[in-house]
Amino acid sequence: MFSSSSLLLAQLSLLSAVLASSVTCNSPIPSSQYLHDIPSWQSQNFSCTGSPAIHTIRNSLGKGLGVFATRAIEPGMVIFHEAPAILIHPPEFRDGVGYPLSGIAQLIQSAFDALSADRKAEVMSLTAHYTSAEKASPNRDELVPIFRSNAYNSGQQIGLYPKIARINHGCRPNTSYLWNARLGKQVVYASRRIEEGEELSISYIPLLHTHEEREKRLDQYGFKCTCEACALEKDEKDASDQRRKDIRQAFTDFNSHLTLTVPQSKSGKKRAQEKADASLQLVKIVEEEELADYYAQIYRIAAISHAKVEAWPAAAQFALKSYQIYLMADEQSEQTIEMQMLTSSFIESWNNHLRNKAMQKD
């Protein structure tokens, strides 16, 4: 017991030390055809560049263009990062309704006007879905529908990324994105293993909804999703729907409980243990549903929940897993730093615990 846990502990400390000092991405050197991309990346001293050589844009059956892997890509590998062509501070967000588009049309237009001719053409080449009112309008505006159909949240802002826009939607996507505020870039990474030749998918919508609810949301993009999650047989689809509902509920339940204080009372300890158990259940269903977009968040929840019951090995391992995901996008983001601190603090508590135990034996 003792020796195996200290071995694991040693491995963990080593791993976290290595991780803190450097990020390795296993990306090949970009091939010469992409050389023009390199200077801007290097000038940012971004330690994890990924490479445009690992993906290509081509036709995807029935979906217009799509992005495909040109080699196998491991989970956690950065595929590329991209600065927005247009980035705006939206007015107030109204939950469930989205952004009031009339208010932001002007913002989009002035950002667009400032672009170079090439960049403008790149933006205008993106596909848009028009509302019926827009379709009926004789001199309809193209830019706002393009923006609406392709933009991504970028911290507190919304951005249009011409390259990311080429990745088609999936409700169990194999890539995900994190906003790097320091570089002002969106980092696209593989959240699951992607085989050579396989298409990349990314989510356009919040994924913790049933198939029917997702279909409604995707209406505004003008397509019916046929991804592997949407194509499931009824029984499996019901199970998937239930998991997504349960995950959403669990996120709500955990929100108010995430402090690090270890409870002292008997009832407090009991509640904390129930929470730790619930966090394992949350990890289990998110992994079962393979919703990798949420892995960083659930590992963080599990780490803190286990720290509250002083289950240090589990706390440290979950914290490290969450850290590894955030680290990919940005070594210096708040989340990365938080998870790095939690990982080392939990490892330290674990060390102390083992030391005390050894002393008691003497």
Ligand X SMILES: *[C@@H]1O[C@H](CO)[C@@H](O)[C@H](O)[C@H]1NC(C)=O
Binding site for ligand X (CB under 6 A): 44-45, 170, 174, 192-194, 198-199, 201, 227-228
The answer to whether 232 contacts Zn ion (rule: CB under 5 A) is no
The answer to whether 225 contacts Zn ion (rule: CB under 5 A) is yes
State the minimum distance, in angstroms, from the CB of residue 290 to ligand X.
7
Both tokens assigned to 342: 């939690």
Residues with Cβ within 8 Å of residue 34, at least 6 apart in sequence: 51, 52, 53
State the minimum distance, in angstroms, from the CB of residue 199 to ligand X.
4
Say which entry of Zn ion, ligand X, none residue 230 contacts (CB below 5 to 8 A, set by partner kind).
Zn ion
Q: Which of 19, 105, 230, 285 binds Zn ion (CB under 5 A)?
A: 230
State the minimum distance, in angstroms, from the CB of residue 206 to Zn ion.
13
Q: Identify the DSSP state of 258.
A: -
User: Does residue 211 contact residue 240 with C-beta atoms inside 8 Å?
Assistant: yes
State the minimum distance, in angstroms, from the CB of residue 66 to ligand X.
8
Say which entry of Zn ion, ligand X, none residue 297 contacts (CB below 5 to 8 A, set by partner kind).
none
Number of neighbouring beta carbons within 10 Å of residue 352: 11
Tell me whether residue 197 or residue 268 sits nearer to ligand X (CB atom). Answer: 197
Footprint on residues 132-191 left by Zn ion (CB under 5 A): 171
For residue 332, give the 3-state DSSP assignment. Answer: coil
Tell me whether residue 240 or residue 340 sits nearer to Zn ion (CB atom). Answer: 240
The answer to whether 85 contacts Zn ion (rule: CB under 5 A) is no
State the minimum distance, in angstroms, from the CB of residue 168 to Zn ion.
10
Say which entry of ligand X, Zn ion, none residue 171 contacts (CB below 5 to 8 A, set by partner kind).
Zn ion
| H helical segments located in 187-311 | 211-219, 234-255, 266-288, 295-307
Say which entry of Zn ion, ligand X, none residue 25 contacts (CB below 5 to 8 A, set by partner kind).
none
Say which entry of ligand X, Zn ion, none residue 199 contacts (CB below 5 to 8 A, set by partner kind).
ligand X
**DSSP string spanning 177-189?**
EEEETTTTEEEEE
Estimate the crossing angle of helix 295-307 against helix 312-329, to 10 degrees.
Answer: 150
| Alpha-carbon gap, residue 64 to 60, rounded angstroms | 6
State the minimum distance, in angstroms, from the CB of residue 147 to ligand X.
24
Say if residue 87 is exposed, middle or buried (CB neighbours under 10 Å; 0-12, 13-18, 19+).
Answer: middle
